[in-house]
Structure 1
Amino acid sequence: MKKLLSCLVLSVMFSLACLPLAAMAQDAKPEAPAAEAAAEPAKPDPTGATLGTAADIIGYAANAPTKEELAAMSEKEPLAAKAAEAAGKNKISINFVWTLVCGFLVMFMQLGFALAETGFTRAKNAAHTMTMNFMVYGIGMLGYWLTGYALQMGGAGPFVTLGGGGTMDTEFAITLFGKDFGLFGLKGFLLGGDAYDVAIFTMFLFQMVFMDTAVTIPTGSMAERWTFKSFVIYGFYMSMFIYPLYANWVWGGGWLSTLGKNFSLGHGVVDFAGSSVVHMTGGVAALAGAICLGPRLGKYGPGGKVNAIPGHHIPMAIAGCLILAFGWFGFNAGSTLAGSDLRIGIVATNTMLASAAGSFSALLYMWLVYGKPDASMAANGLLAALVAITAPCAFVNASSAIIIGLIAGVLLCVSVFFVDRTLKVDDPVGAISVHGVNGAWGLLAVGIFADGTYGDALNTVEGTVKGLLYGDSGQFMAQCIGVLTNFIFVFVAFFVFFKVLNVFVKLRVSPEIERDGLDEAEVGVTAYPDFSVNKTHR
């Protein structure tokens, strides 16, 4: 307990120590239109009273009306001016409600993860697995509140679709090759000071549930032998530092997002809703953790024989996967951050089509190759396709979404057996393959299938997002850089972390506890106290 409290104190001290660095950082605020260049510095708005004006009908576009033009309209056509003002406020309000409701949907995915992972593991560890999935929500949120949100989004403002957030304007950057490389933000620690703003708080909620998804993923690959103490420390490390850093590089104005502007590589790394930021990050961390923990007892026999250890409740696992699929509509369509962006219809439909294709191709692959239509693989194929379509969902057409999903389902099956039989890495729920491998596939899919109908001026690059099939090899190159960066950074960061942590806090339970089950020993409760778990099902 003392070690845990020490880690928390150090985390708070770090977050407070980062605040003075803001004076050293470079201003990350996007260039304003000439008419707005002399505008007053942004101020936080904790009530929302100043958000939503006539200018928001158009947005922060180059042809948005100036303050002078709006003032002239008020004098000459007061009724029209009031109507325009109301329309602007309504647009921002719609975007707020859309973003929050989609954030609530993503939060509901936590239940899906809990059911899926618990169902795919054994009954004697059900309470332990469920508790990790429950507590990662609170642990991740607190860590993200302390430092994570600031490191990720501290230089990403203003949040145009929400009409505010302009005070999140400080990104720490270094200069290489004559170009600025953003590394992390420096505004928004503990949601205090200039961060006390309705748009910034709304963005926190939405980004927090995405982060929490990434933190949850390794609880599946490391299930059934992970000590709860080390899990808690891991939760803070992931949410406070590693996830926010990579997320900043892609979503917070960091160096991967500026590869297009700085080096003419398409629009820089493009990841619409998080194939790499969320899922690959979680999947690579899961790989590092599973390697450091080692396989469950009895998983591998003499001569490298692979022994199957079936989950105890497949209906529970499948129900969890369906809940995840439902929440994914908030995950993907919500990433427009704008209910007024009608591309949400295409995003949602692409998401649905890809998931159907992934579940079918996984089922068909198992049926043709192994003679049985494996239900658990079909369920994981659904998730794999959802992971894969998460990055390209806004940039591709329906046919491409189907192709991406079909490939994801087969890739899932091949990867699961490769990890299990060739790498000899024990992953009870297939998290490495579902999230890590297909997260990488999803990021690459943007660079292949993006059709140039969406994404104009994304990452401050003129024009829409196009992939290899539509003439932009630079975009594919940027996506490859994103995949390599994620794998190297996340794997090294977590492999070293788990090895060092194991010196001070043991990662793995004792063989006796593992044989008897982790429920009572690690979390103090038994999932199924009314009946004795038969050894054949343990």
Structure 2
Amino acid sequence: MENTILEMQFAIDTFYFLVMGALVMWMAAGFSMLEAGLVRSKNTTEILTKNIGLFAIACTTYMIYGYDIMYGGGVILDGIEVIAKDATYAKPSDFFFQVVFVATAMSIVSGAVAERMKLFSFFAFAVVFTGIIYPMEGAWTWNGEAVFGLFTLGDYGFSDFAGSGIVHMAGAAAALAGVIVLGARRGKYNKDGSSNAIPGANMPMATLGTFILWMGWFGFNGGSVLAMASKESANAVAMVFLNTNAAAAGGVIAALLLVKILWGKADLTMALNGALAGLVAITAGPDTPTALEATLIGAIGGILVVFSISILDKTFKIDDPVGAISVHGVVGLWGLLAVPVTNDGVSFTGQLLGAATIFIWVFATSFALWLALKAVMGVRVSAEEEAEGVDISECGLHAYPEFTTK
């Protein structure tokens, strides 16, 4: 009887893990729609190609090499045992759940370098990022390995439940390095240093993408509970779902109120980024706050993202077409720092140390890789190709051919 119950729990937990992973995979569609809506129509096909390509690359490189770096037990060479003796879920489900997280981190880079980057240079970066750069910092954090053999983050009280830092801030660090190497889009900044707004082509598509991401985030955070087949784990999942939703709502409300105060009008793009900021903020610790606390954590994220997008654009001349660096980087750091407020077992020192480790490693290695790619194959399209739109130069296909003129 006991064995039957354990087998049933195993089956339920494995099934739950797989379904949550599928929800996270659906976030790839959300990123695709969000980014396609926020770039100009002449760059739509290329951004969609980047998103489906990076997902396929992430799944393959992480299977061949990345998972082995991060957790040990290579999928290709060593195989993954289907049922470990003391496992609570099937190990292949763990690989599936982890690989969609890797793809999410890489998706963050896609939007930030949009509209001026060579497609296959981006794919080359994706191979190394998903196969080596991300798995290394994942091994130091979620797998608890010593950072370069020097210290263990867990000993300092570091905690990142579902990846505000490990996934989101890491993706933003890689994106920041890429944007610095690439430079701004032509026409974005004037000679006097002022910034020109470059509106996206499709706000309904961007809004749909945000709602898809909001939905997928329940798998992102809920799946990180890692179990469902007991009263305790079921309650934990329910609370994580509740807090995830509350934080997103708080981010939207705060961002809308702030832009109304600052600019006198509602700004849809800031509302969308406010939702994503709330989701990123709560991801590091959705299991311990009350619903009201989660709403406030998300609201602070929504406020931070509005100021961050404006400051990075106007002050630092960081040209990020979709606001990814602010949403996932700045707010990812806030998410890590918010955890000790509701979780006594986590320290601010540990969170800062973990954030610094993730950012320094990912930014430094990504910057070096971007520079290497620039020297070997180039990373930016020509001025003529950028003016025409990278859809034609990189993909040979218009996304909206009926609206183009010859």
TM bucket, shorter chain: over 0.9
1:208 aligns with 2:93: no
Q: Secondary structure at the match of 2:401?
A: coil
Q: Structure 1 residue runs of 4+, over 2 Å off? A: 192-200, 255-261
1:292 aligns with 2:292: no
1:367 aligns with 2:252: no
Deviations along 1:155-176, one digit per CA (max 9) or x if unpaired, are: xxxxxxxxxxxxxxxxxxxxxx
Q: Which residue of 2 aligns with 1:72?
A: none
Deviation at 1:533, TM superposition (A): 6.6
Q: Which has the higher helix share?
A: 2
Deviation at 1:124, TM superposition (A): 0.3
1:357 aligns with 2:250: yes
Q: Against the structure 1 CA distance between its residues 194 and 224, is the aligned structure 2 distance closer, same or farther, given a 3 Å change threshold?
A: closer
Paired AA for residue 360 in structure 2: I
Which runs of no fewer than 5 residues in structure 1 stay unpaired?
1-82, 155-186, 453-464, 468-474
Q: Which residue of 1 aligns with 2:132?
A: 241
Q: Which residue of 2 aligns with 1:48?
A: none
- Which of 377, 383, 398 aligns to 1:505? It is 377
Q: Which residue of 2 aligns with 1:73?
A: none
Q: How does 1:330-349 map to 2 (within 5 A)?
A: 330-340=219-229, 341-342=233-234, 343-349=236-242
- Which of 100, 109, 125 aligns to 2:27? It is 109
Alpha-carbon contact 1:123-1:533 (below 8 Å) kept: no
Paired AA for residue 329 in structure 1: F
Deviation at 1:201, TM superposition (A): 1.4
Distance (whole Å) between structure 2 residues aligned to residue 193 and residue 285 of structure 1:
30
1:421 aligns with 2:293: no
TM-score by length of 2: 0.94
Distance (whole Å) between structure 2 residues aligned to residue 201 and residue 94 of structure 1:
15
Q: CA RMSD in A?
A: 1.4
Deviation at 1:195, TM superposition (A): 2.2
Distance (whole Å) between structure 2 residues aligned to residue 136 and residue 194 of structure 1:
24
Q: Which residue of 2 aligns with 1:188?
A: 74
Distance (whole Å) between structure 2 residues aligned to residue 488 and residue 208 of structure 1:
23
Q: Percent identity?
A: 43
Q: Which residue of 1 aligns with 2:193?
A: 304
Distance (whole Å) between structure 2 residues aligned to residue 150 and residue 374 of structure 1:
44
Paired AA for residue 328 in structure 1: W
Q: Against the structure 1 CA distance between its residues 300 and 533, is the aligned structure 2 distance closer, same or farther, given a 3 Å change threshold?
A: farther
Deviations along 1:393-416, one digit per CA (max 9) or x if unpaired, are: 012222221111110000000000
Distance (whole Å) between structure 1 residues aligned to residue 139 and residue 154 of structure 2:
16
Q: Which residue of 1 aligns with 2:87?
A: none
Distance (whole Å) between structure 1 residues aligned to residue 373 and residue 173 of structure 2:
18
Q: Against the structure 1 CA distance between its residues 95 and 415, is the aligned structure 2 distance closer, same or farther, given a 3 Å change threshold?
A: same
Distance (whole Å) between structure 2 residues aligned to residue 291 and residue 384 of structure 1:
22
Q: Which residue of 1 aligns with 2:49?
A: 131
- Which of 71, 79, 82 aligns to 1:197? It is 82
Deviation at 1:259, TM superposition (A): 3.7
Paired AA for residue 195 in structure 1: I
Alpha-carbon contact 1:229-1:505 (below 8 Å) kept: no
Distance (whole Å) between structure 2 residues aligned to residue 196 and residue 394 of structure 1:
30
Q: How does 1:24-173 map to 2 (within 5 A)?
A: 83-154=1-72
Q: Against the structure 1 CA distance between its residues 495 and 404, is the aligned structure 2 distance closer, same or farther, given a 3 Å change threshold?
A: same
Q: Which has the larger radius of gyration?
A: 1
Distance (whole Å) between structure 2 residues aligned to residue 357 and residue 194 of structure 1:
44
Distance (whole Å) between structure 1 residues aligned to residue 365 and residue 82 of structure 2:
33
Paired AA for residue 497 in structure 1: L
Question: Aligned residue pairs: how many?
Answer: 393
Q: Secondary structure at the match of 1:89?
A: helix
Alpha-carbon contact 2:153-2:353 (below 8 Å) kept: no
Alpha-carbon contact 2:144-2:153 (below 8 Å) kept: no
Q: How does 1:451-530 map to 2 (within 5 A)?
A: 452=344, 465=345, 467=346, 475-530=347-402
Distance (whole Å) between structure 1 residues aligned to residue 40 and residue 214 of structure 2:
23
Deviation at 1:189, TM superposition (A): 4.7
Alpha-carbon contact 1:226-1:509 (below 8 Å) kept: yes
- Which of 212, 219, 241 aligns to 2:110? It is 219
Deviations along 1:108-129, one digit per CA (max 9) or x if unpaired, are: 1100000000100000000001
Distance (whole Å) between structure 2 residues aligned to residue 481 and residue 368 of structure 1:
36
Alpha-carbon contact 2:140-2:153 (below 8 Å) kept: no
Distance (whole Å) between structure 2 residues aligned to residue 285 and residue 193 of structure 1:
30
Q: Which residue of 2 aligns with 1:34?
A: none
Deviations along 1:468-520, one digit per CA (max 9) or x if unpaired, are: xxxxxxx1110010111112111111111111110001100000000000112
Paired AA for residue 129 in structure 2: M
Q: Secondary structure at the match of 1:217?
A: helix
Q: Which residue of 2 aligns with 1:403?
A: 296
Q: Against the structure 1 CA distance between its residues 260 and 212, is the aligned structure 2 distance closer, same or farther, given a 3 Å change threshold?
A: closer
Q: Secondary structure at the match of 1:302?
A: coil
Distance (whole Å) between structure 1 residues aligned to residue 303 and residue 351 of structure 2:
22
Alpha-carbon contact 1:447-1:477 (below 8 Å) kept: no
Distance (whole Å) between structure 1 residues aligned to residue 56 and residue 288 of structure 2:
34
Q: Which has the higher contact order (CA 8 A, sep 6+)?
A: 2
Distance (whole Å) between structure 2 residues aligned to residue 392 and residue 335 of structure 1:
11
Deviations along 1:219-275, one digit per CA (max 9) or x if unpaired, are: 1000000101101101101110011011111111223694444xxx3xx32111110
Q: How does 1:247-258 map to 2 (within 5 A)?
A: 247-255=138-146, 258=152
